[in-house]
């Protein structure tokens, strides 16, 4: 009997533990319904009303998770679709949106991840291919598109601003971007930029494509899409290194996808573009800016696109400019090498770089031309005049920056709310004025850099390098070259000679001032080795012994104390002299 009662009591307790949470959940749901709130993620987030287009991605959840978990973007999820919905009153800056692309399911060929360091963020960027080409928001018909997360950009505006500037400067094939709210399987994922993927093709980089079967001229003379490849981790079949040590990567044609039947084409195409790039480099550094065959650099490389591309990278103070595979070049068939398209500006328009206004965007070819080629210098000056007017339009009241901010304000706020625990936002204050402060910071940065560069361009445009000559007596120990406005690293300082009776103090400039690792170099200069004469402490005699043959311990201790006092006094004198030498 007692056994049955115990069993019944156990069952009753289990039922209570199970039913009480259900009752609490039901009461919570009833309260939410009573207050007019819906308690489902889909109904809360599926249709953001932020005044910009909504891109809804529908895909098998397991497939989507495989995309998100694919570290190197190998996994492509298929059989998904996207839907584009446009709010009333919204218009694209690129023209009328194709009505056939709106409000209906557009089948995907695939969707996968994209990006390098940006893929490590919680908010993921993507690229996708439509099953059929479509003109989205007036950006031109194509199958290939990207969704930029801008996870490292607290404004969500920097890529779009850079693209606007590049397009206004006339840089061909500058990608177009439209802000969208991304919803995946009914859940809001944040504010994104929907834009054109950098690739060769219609409404992208519109140059001739090379086929895997082509081995001869003129077909293999173009077109190529190249990227700078400074990382040693790049092991793609299309990577190559020139005599200068600079490395590039053939992005298209995709040589790493050539199989055994196409080996002859791979070798012929890569051989051609490597030799062409080396011929450009030889002309850049050659006498009269010509290579050994007599071809001028202006005949091989488009200097106007080089100048405008450099100005955007320099002015924006882009962390990735000329320092990643986001730095693109392309070569037309039977044509020149061009710079572009612009890409990857989510870490730009930051601090102005101090005194180094013109030398933060480093690329050896363009730096050498800027320092030495009068023709290129004139092209740079003309491009700067264009850029100044464009920047004024960006930062003026009611200009590009203000329009872009107001367009994404509500979307920015919802994105910020979603990703508040993201590394970018962690610990940051959240209030209604945060977006405005961020935008004003960008505006101030553009204004200050514009004024600072304008003040030094006449005297500093060609001041690219500075040489430091280290002299010891009449002997030149070393010569080191740095970018004007920068300082030397520890390894650049030579070792001074040891001189009997003298101690090396360091290096001094022509005015006797100390020259060290923190000293900026703005022009060619000579620094001199500085020494001081060593001072020797007075000799001490051995301690006398007592008559009984034992040491006088007390005398030894006293003598030691005197020695310490003498050494301390000598050190004090030496510090005083060193201080006088520095002053």
At 269-304, the pLDDT tens digits run 999 999 999 999 999 999 999 999 999 999 999 999
Query: What pLDDT shows up at residue 9?
Result: 41
Per-residue pLDDT tens digits for 461-487: 999 999 999 999 999 999 999 999 899
3-state DSSP call for residue 402?
Answer: helix
Lowest mean pLDDT among 53-57, 77-81, 165-169, 496-500: 496-500
Q: What percentage of the chain carries pLDDT values higher than 90?
A: 66
Question: What would the DSSP string read from start to end of 62-87?
Answer: HHHHHHHH-TTS---B-S-EEEEE--
Per-residue pLDDT tens digits for 359-415: 888 999 999 999 999 999 999 999 999 999 999 999 999 999 999 999 999 999 999
Q: Is residue 487 part of a domain?
A: yes
Q: Is residue 489 part of a domain?
A: yes
Per-residue pLDDT tens digits for 514-569: 999 999 999 999 999 999 998 765 655 555 544 444 443 332 323 333 343 334 43
- pLDDT band with cut points at 50, 70 and 90 for residue 432: low
Query: What pLDDT shows up at residue 497?
Result: 85
Q: Is residue 241 part of a domain?
A: no
Query: What pLDDT shows up at residue 544?
Result: 52
Flag whether pLDDT at 427 surpasses 90: no
As a dihedral over the C-alpha atoms of residue 359, residue 360, residue 363, residue 367, rounded to 10 degrees, the angle is -10
pTM beyond 0.85: no
Q: Is residue 470 part of a domain?
A: yes
CATH number of the domain that 574 lies in?
A: 2.60.40.4270
Q: Is residue 293 part of a domain?
A: no
Lowest mean pLDDT among 57-61, 238-242, 409-413, 574-578: 574-578
- pLDDT band with cut points at 50, 70 and 90 for residue 350: confident
Query: What pLDDT shows up at residue 237?
Result: 86
Burial 327-350 (b: 16+ CB within 10 A, else e): bbbbbbbeebbbbbbbbbbbbbbe
Q: Is residue 269 part of a domain?
A: no
Average pLDDT of 10-26? 39
Flag whether pLDDT at 313 surpasses 50: yes
Closest alpha carbon to 188 in 50, 363, 3: 50
- Residue 64 neighbours by CB distance under 10 Å: 17
Report whether 574 contacts 535 (CB < 8 A).
yes
Structural domains of the chain, count: 2
- pLDDT band with cut points at 50, 70 and 90 for residue 17: very low
Average model confidence (pLDDT) for the chain? 84
- pLDDT band with cut points at 50, 70 and 90 for residue 352: low
As a dihedral over the C-alpha atoms of residue 148, residue 151, residue 157, residue 160, rounded to 10 degrees, the angle is -30
Query: What pLDDT shows up at residue 29?
Result: 37
Q: Is residue 292 part of a domain?
A: no
More confident: 426 or 347:
347
Flag whether pLDDT at 3 surpasses 90: no
Average pLDDT of 203-211? 96
Flag whether pLDDT at 343 surpasses 80: yes
Q: Is residue 380 part of a domain?
A: no
Instruction: State the residue range of the domain holding 181.
Output: 44-156+167-196
Instruction: Beginning with the edge strand found earlier in the chain, give each strand of the sheet holding 247-252 in spatial order.
Output: 239-241, 247-252, 224-228, 328-331, 337-339
Measured at the CA of 306, the angle between CA 304 and CA 308, to 5 degrees, comes to 70
Query: What pLDDT shows up at residue 540?
Result: 58
């Amino acid at each position: 009997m007692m056994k049955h009662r115990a069993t019944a009591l156990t069952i009753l307790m289990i039922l209570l533990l199970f039913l009480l949470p259900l009752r609490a959940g039901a009461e919570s749901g009833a309260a939410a319904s009573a207050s007019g709130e819906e308690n489902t993620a889909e109904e809360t987030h599926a249709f953001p009303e932020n005044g910009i287009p909504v891109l809804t991605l529908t895909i098998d959840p397991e497939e989507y998770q495989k995309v998100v978990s694919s570290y190197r973007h190998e996994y492509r999820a298929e059989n998904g679709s996207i839907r584009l919905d446009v709010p009333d009153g919204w218009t694209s800056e690129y023209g009328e949106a194709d009505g056939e692309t709106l409000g209906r399911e557009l089948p995907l060929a695939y969707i996968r991840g994209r990006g390098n360091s940006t893929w490590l963020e919680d908010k993921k960027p993507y690229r996708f291919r439509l099953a059929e080409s479509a003109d989205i928001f007036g950006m031109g018909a194509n199958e290939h598109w990207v969704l930029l997360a801008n996870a490292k950009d607290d404004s969500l505006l920097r890529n779009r601003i850079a693209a606007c500037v590049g397009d206004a400067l006339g840089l061909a094939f500058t990608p177009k971007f439209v802000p969208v709210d991304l919803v995946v399987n009914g859940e809001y994922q944040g504010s994104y930029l929907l834009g054109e993927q950098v690739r060769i093709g219609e409404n992208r980089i519109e140059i001739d494509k090379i086929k895997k079967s082509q081995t001869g001229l003129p077909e293999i003379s173009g077109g190529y899409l190249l990227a700078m490849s400074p990382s040693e981790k790049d092991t793609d079949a299309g990577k190559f290194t020139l005599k200068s040590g600079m490395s590039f990567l053939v992005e298209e044609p995709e040589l790493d996808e050539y199989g055994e039947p196409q080996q002859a084409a791979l070798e012929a195409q890569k051989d051609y573009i490597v030799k062409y790039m080396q011929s450009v480099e030889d002309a850049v550094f050659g006498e009269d800016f010509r290579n050994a065959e007599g071809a001028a650099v202006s005949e091989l490389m488009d200097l106007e696109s080089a100048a405008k591309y450099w100005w955007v990278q320099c002015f924006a103070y882009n962390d990735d400019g000329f320092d990643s595979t986001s730095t693109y070049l392309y070569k037309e068939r039977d044509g020149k090498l061009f710079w572009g398209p612009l890409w990857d500006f989510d870490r730009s328009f930051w601090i102005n770089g101090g005194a180094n206004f013109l030398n933060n965007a480093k690329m050896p070819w363009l730096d050498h031309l800027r320092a030495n080629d009068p023709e290129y210098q004139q092209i740079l000056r003309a491009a700067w005049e264009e850029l100044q007017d464009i920047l004024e339009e960006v930062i003026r009241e009611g200009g590009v920056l203000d329009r872009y901010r107001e367009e994404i304000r509500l979307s920015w706020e919802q994105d910020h709310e979603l990703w508040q625990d993201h590394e970018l936002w962690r610990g940051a204050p959240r209030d209604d004025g945060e977006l405005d402060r961020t935008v004003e910071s960008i505006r101030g940065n553009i204004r200050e850099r514009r004024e600072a560069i304008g003040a030094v361009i006449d005297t500093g445009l060609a001041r690219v390098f500075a040489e430091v000559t280290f002299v010891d007596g009449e002997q030149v120990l070393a010569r080191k070259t740095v970018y004007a406005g920068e300082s030397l690293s520890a390894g650049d300082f030579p070792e001074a000679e040891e001189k009997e009776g003298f101690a090396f103090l360091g290096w001094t400039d022509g005015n006797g001032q100390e020259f060290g690792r923190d000293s900026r170099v703005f022009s060619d200069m000579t620094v001199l080795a500085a020494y001081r004469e060593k001072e020797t402490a007075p000799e001490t005699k051995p301690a006398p012994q007592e008559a009984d043959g034992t040491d006088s311990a007390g005398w030894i201790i006293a003598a030691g104390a005197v020695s310490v006092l003498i050494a301390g006094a000598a050190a004090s004198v030496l510090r005083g002299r060193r201080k006088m030498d520095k002053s």
